[in-house]
A and B are shown apart, each in its own frame.
Chain A
Amino acid sequence: MPKLIIDDIPVEVAPGTSVLEAARSVGITIPHFCYHPALAIAAACRLCAVKLLDGPVKGIQMSCALPAQDGMVVSTTDPEALKMRSLVIEWLMLNHPHDCPVCDEGGECLLQDFTIAGGHSRRRYQGKKRTFQNQYLGEGIHHEMNRCIECYRCVRFYQDYAGGTDFGVMGSAGRVYFGRFQEGALESPFSGNLVDICPTGVFTDKTGRFRARYWDYQFAPSICQHCSVGCNTSPQNFERETIKIVGRRNDQVNGWFICDRARFDKTYLNDPQRPREPRLDGATCGYDVAVDAAAKSIREFVRQHGADKLAFVGSTRLSLEGMILLAQLADAAGGARICYFGDAGQQQGSMAAAKLLNEENTAYVKDIEQAQWVSLHALDLMEEGPMLALAVRKAFLAGAQIFLVAAEALPARDVLPFKYTSVETLNQVPFEGGGKGVIICGAGSKDPDLLAEMASSGAKLVMLQPGPNGFAAALLAQEHGAAPLKELVAARQVRGVVCFEADVPEVLLADVEVLANADWRREAVTDTSPIFLPTTTWVESDGTAINFEGRAQRFQRTRIAGLPLKGLDPKYYGSATEAVSLHPPRVHRKEVPGGAERDAWRVMAQLIERLGGEPIEPLSGKWSSLKSLDPEGEGVRIFEIGLGE
C-alpha cells in the first residue's frame, strides 16, 4: 500500500491508485477533463498537473496518469502547477465560444467549474476563434462542436467502452473533429451517454434542451423501470415535467452509464393525456370518493359472489411495497385471489428463476465482466437488458468467448457490441464444470427444467426477469400462492378483478367484471372500469424494486405529481376561452392541476382501511431490513438478508 503526502496530508491508497484519485480520497479535487474513472487514461488535457516535490519522480506530472508511489510528496498548489493549470484553461479558452448563457450545458458544465478553478480570467490571445460545422446526430443528441475541448472522452466511451463504430475523431492538430463521417442518427443504443460524459456542451440532450437550468431541476435518486437490470438514474424535473434523465453511478449495477431507452424514453411520464383524475362512472370525482366507491364495490362483489371469485391483479410494474400490500388487500377483502402475472409461462419462468438463484450462483455484473465465457441463451439482450451488453463487452475485450445459443431469430443481434459464436444448444458451449462462465437468459416464458439445467451447469447465472420488478413479483407469488390471471379466468375461477398497474390483456375483459382500476397509464381496463384511481409513476413515487440479481434498490419521489406546466390546459389559466398557452396559471388554486395521483401502495392501504383492516407498514416483518435501504447506496441483494429461497 503506497504511502504518500499530498498537500501535507499523509495518504495511503491501494497499489495502482492514481495520484488524482489518492488526492480525491482525502477531499482534494484536482481539476481534470480527460480523466474519467470508467475510461482508459488519456492524459490528453494536461489539466490535472501537480508538482512532485520529492520522491521517486519529481517536477510537474499529470496526476491522472501517475500511479501513487511510496515516498511521493505532492503539491497541488505549487505555483508552477497552478500556472500550468491556468495555461491549460487559457489554451482551451482560445477557441471556446464563451457564450454560456446560450449553452444548454451551462450550470452543469465541468468546463465552467474548472475554468473558474483554473484562475485564468483575462484574455491575452488576439487571434480569431476557430469554428466548426455541427452535425445532425439524430433525435436524441444535439451537436455543437465549437464547444469542444478535445478531451477525447466521447470517442473513448463510444468506441472503446460501448463498441460503437459510426462516431469518432477525425482530423489532426487544431482541426480535430468529433462526429460522424456523414450526418445521421447515432447508431449505438448507448449514444445518449455522450451527454453525460462530455465535460462541456458539445452533446446535449435534444429532447430537453433549453427547458431549465441545472439549479432549477428537482431531482432525487431513482431506478430505471424499463427492464429488470435496474440501472440507477437521476430524472431531472422542472415544473412537473421530467425534462432529462441522466445516469447515476452504481458500480454494482450500471457503472456510470445507462442505455438510450432509460434516457430518452420518457414522454409517457409527461404525457398530458395521462389519466390523472379519479373517476366514478365516467365522471371525475374526488379521490376519496373513488376509494370509497371501490371499497363499496369490492364488499358488494364479495357478498354476491364470494371472495374467491375476486382477484386483485398487479404486475411486475408495481413496487415491492405495492406487491406486499396487494396481498394484504386481498386478505382484507376476505381472502380474494392475487395475481402478479397475467401469463402462466411468465409466472412459471420468473418463479423458477427466483427459486434457482442464490448468493452463490447469481452473477454479479462484475462476474460477467470478468467471465472467461458468456453464453446468451435465446435472448435479445439489447431488448431485455441492454446495459448487460456492455458488461459482456468488457469480458469479450478481456478475451472471453461469447456464445449465442439458439438465437437465430433475434432482431437486435447485429448491434451486439461484441463478437460471438452461434451455437444451437447449450451443450455446444465448450466449458468444463462452469469455470468462470456466465449464462445469461431471459426467465420469462422459459421452461423451468431448462432453467434448472442451466443452474446445474456450475456457471454463474443471469436470469433476466419479465418486467422491472419481476423478481419481487416471483417472490410474492411464491409466498402467497398467486396464480396467473389468464389461467384463473380461463378456468372461470374468477369473475371480478381489481387492477393495480396491471397489464390485463384485452381478451380477458370479456370474461371478467372490472371493479376498479388504479394505474398511471391508460390500459384497456381503464375504459372498462367504472372506477378509476390514478397512481403515480416511478419518478413521482417512493418505492423499492428488486432487479434480476435479487438486488433491492430504493427509488425516491423525484418530483410531485401533476400536469406539466408546459402545455397546461387553458382551463387552468383562469379563462376557458382565451388561448394563453405556455403562460403560468393566472388564478391561485390549492391543488396541483392533475396532481391527484397517489402511490399505488398508498391507495391499497386506504382500501384496506375501508375494508376494515389495518394496513401494515409494507417493509415490515421479513422485509424490515429493506426499510433502511439507502437510495444513494448500491442496494442489497436479498440473499444477503436471508430472503429469497
Chain B
Amino acid sequence: MELPLFRHNRPDRVVTFDEYREEGGFEGLKKAFSGMSPNDVQQAVLDSGLRGRGGAGFATGRKWSFVPRDLPGPRWLICNCDEMEPGTYKDRVLLEHNPYSLIEGMTLACYALGVRHAFIFIRKGYEKAAANLARGIEEAKQAGLLGEHILGSEHSIELDLHLSAGRYICGEETALINALEGKRPNPRSKPPFPAVKGLWQGPTVVNNVETLANVPAIVANGAAWFKGLALNPEGAGSKLFCVSGSVKNRACVELPIGTTLGDIIDGACGGMRDGKKFKACIPGGASTQFLKPEHWNLPMDYETVAKAGSRLGSGGVIVFDEGHCLVEATLNLINFFARESCGWCTPCREGLPYVKEILTRIENGRGEEDDIAILREHVKYLNYTFCALAPGAMAPLDGLLRDFEDEVREHIVKRKCPLK
C-alpha cells in the first residue's frame, strides 16, 4: 500500500504542481468540494484515528470538534511549522519535497472548520520550505484550488505564510499565537484553550505540518483506508520518523504506524553504525524518555510507546550506542531547553540551569551523592510549570534516572565519566 506523505517525493528535488496533480493530488479537495459537507470532512478525520504529529498526539478530529461553530467573528487555523525539537526534522523534509499536501490539507481543514484565513507559522532556517510553500500557494490559487471561490464554490480561503524569527517556545501553540499577534512568545494560560479563544481571541486550531498533510489522503481514500495503513490494530496511518545518531543511514522515513523500533533502525536505516550495539534511543524528540534494548520489538505507536514509559512524540528518533554517555547526552538536551526557556515561570527559567549545573558537575567528575535526589526533585516539581516545555525537558532526565541510574552513580563514585 502506498503511504500518503512521501508518495510524491522525488529523490533530488521538490515535486512540481503538475506532477502532484497527475499523481492524484488535490483529489481529496475536489471530492470534498463536490458533495462532502464540512461535517463530513471532519467526521472522516475523526474516524480515521489521525492523531496530532506535533508531539502531544491528540486526536485531530476531536480537537477540531472543540471549535464552537455558533460564535460570531472569524475562526482561524494555524499550521505549526516551528519544528525546533532536537532530533526532529520531519516537517522540513516533508516541505522541501512537497508543499502541496500541506496546502491541500490546510484547505480541507479550513473547509471543515469554517475558517476563511489560515496561517503557516514557519521557523527561521526553513527558507527552502518556505519558498516551496510560497510558490505552491500561488500555484494553487492560479488553479482555483485556493483563494476566492475555490473550485467555483462560494468558499474562499486565504493562506498566509509567516516567517518567524525562530525560538523553540514559538512551537508551543499559545506562545505561537502570541508571536503571530506580534507579542512576546510567552505561552498563555489554558484554559481557555485555543480552540475556544486563540488568535485575536477567536477560536483557533493549531496543527502540526505532518498532521495537516495527512488530511488529503484521508478525505480522498476514506477513514478506513487510513486506519488500515497501520500495522497494529490500535494505530492509524503512517508516521514520519526522522532518525539520527548511531545508525548507518540517518534519514527521515515514512513508515506505517506500528513499525517496530528494530525495523526502523535495521530496516529503514540500515542498522547500527559501525556494528555498534544499541544502547538506548529517544523515540519522539528531545522531550521523551529513553527506550532500551528490551524495546527493540516495540511497535511504534502512541499507545504502545506510552505503555513502555515514553512517548511517540514527534517521531524524532535519536539512537545511542554503547559508547555514548547518556549523562552527557541528557546534559546536551538540557542545555538546549535551558537556553530555550521563555523565562516566564520560575521552575523552568531557574530550575533548568540548576539541572544543567548539576549534570555538568556529574559529567565532569564533580558530582555528589545528594545530586541525584536534587535531580529527582526537579523531575517531579518541574511538572508544575506554566507550559509543557519544562515537563518535556525533564523527560530525558526522568529516563536517565529511571533506566540509567547506575551509570549516573558510576560518574559520581569514580569521579569521572566512565565512558571517556
Contact = CB atoms under 8 A, between A and B. Distances in A.
Interface of A: 41-47, 49, 60, 62, 65, 83-84, 87-88, 91-92, 94-95, 124-127, 149-150, 152, 169, 171-176
A431 to B, nearest CB: 25
Given A84-B384, A87-B351, 10 more contacts: A46-B346, A46-B384, A60-B384, A65-B189, A83-B377, A91-B347, A91-B349, A126-B361, A127-B357, A172-B341
B365 interface: no
Contact of A45 (B340, B343, B346): B346
B343 A173 contact: yes
B286 to A, nearest CB: 16
A394 B412 CA distance: 57
Contact of B340 (A83, A87, A149, A173): A173
A41 B190 CA distance: 12
B123 to A, nearest CB: 15
A173 B189 contact: no
Contact of A83 (B346, B349, B381): B381
B258 to A, nearest CB: 33
Contacts of A176: 343, 349
Nearest to A130: B353
B384 A173 contact: no
A152 B341 contact: no
Given A46-B385, A60-B384, A127 B353 contact: yes
Chain B CB count within 10 A is highest, among A62, A94, A173, for A173
B357 A126 contact: yes
Contact of B343 (A41, A43, A91, A171): A171
Nearest to B383: A60
10 contacts: A44-B344, A46-B347, A83-B381, A87-B381, A91-B346, A91-B354, A95-B350, A172-B169, A172-B342, A174-B338
What 8 A-B pairs come out closest when comparing CB atoms? Answer: A91-B350, A176-B343, A127-B357, A173-B341, A172-B343, A173-B343, A44-B345, A60-B384
Contacts of A124: 370, 374
A46 B345 contact: yes
B364 to A, nearest CB: 12
B386 interface: yes
Contacts of A62: 384
Contact of B189 (A43, A60, A92): A43
Nearest to A47: B346
B30 interface: no
B357 A125 contact: yes
Nearest to B384: A60
A174 B353 contact: yes
A33 to B, nearest CB: 8
Contacts of A84: 381, 384
Q: By DSSP majority rule, is chain B's interface helix, strand, loop, or mixed?
A: helix
A173 B342 contact: yes
B277 interface: no
B340 A88 contact: no
B414 interface: no
Contacts of B350: 91-92, 94-95, 174
B384 A150 contact: no
Contact of B354 (A125, A152, A173, A175): A125
Given A83-B381, A124-B370, A88 B346 contact: yes
B189 A88 contact: no
Contacts of B342: 172-173
B365 to A, nearest CB: 14
Chain A CB count within 10 A is highest, among B342, B349, B351, for B349
A150 B342 CA distance: 12
Nearest to B385: A46
Contacts of A91: 346-347, 349-351, 354
A49 B384 contact: yes
Chain B CB count within 10 A is highest, among A47, A152, A174, A175, for A174
A43 B354 CA distance: 21
Nearest to A127: B357
B21 interface: no
B339 interface: yes
A548 to B, nearest CB: 36
A94 B353 CA distance: 10
Contacts of B370: 124
Interface in B320-335: none
A216 B184 CA distance: 42
A92 B346 contact: yes
Interface string B165-206: 001010000000000000010000100000000000000000
Given A84-B384, A125-B354, A126-B357, A174 B346 contact: no
Nearest to A60: B384
Given A87-B377, A173-B341, A150 B357 contact: no
Contacts of A150: 343, 346, 349
B339 A173 contact: yes
A46 B346 CA distance: 7
A47 B370 CA distance: 24
A174 B345 CA distance: 10
Contacts of A126: 357, 361
A173 B338 contact: yes
A49 B344 CA distance: 16
Contacts of A47: 346
A278 to B, nearest CB: 59
B334 to A, nearest CB: 12
Contact of B347 (A88, A95, A175): A88
A173 B169 CA distance: 10
A303 B312 CA distance: 103
A497 to B, nearest CB: 61
A45 B350 CA distance: 11
A588 B340 CA distance: 65
Interface string B25-60: 000000000000000000000000000000000000
B343 A175 contact: yes
Nearest to B370: A124
B175 to A, nearest CB: 11
Contacts of B340: 172-173
A126 B361 CA distance: 9
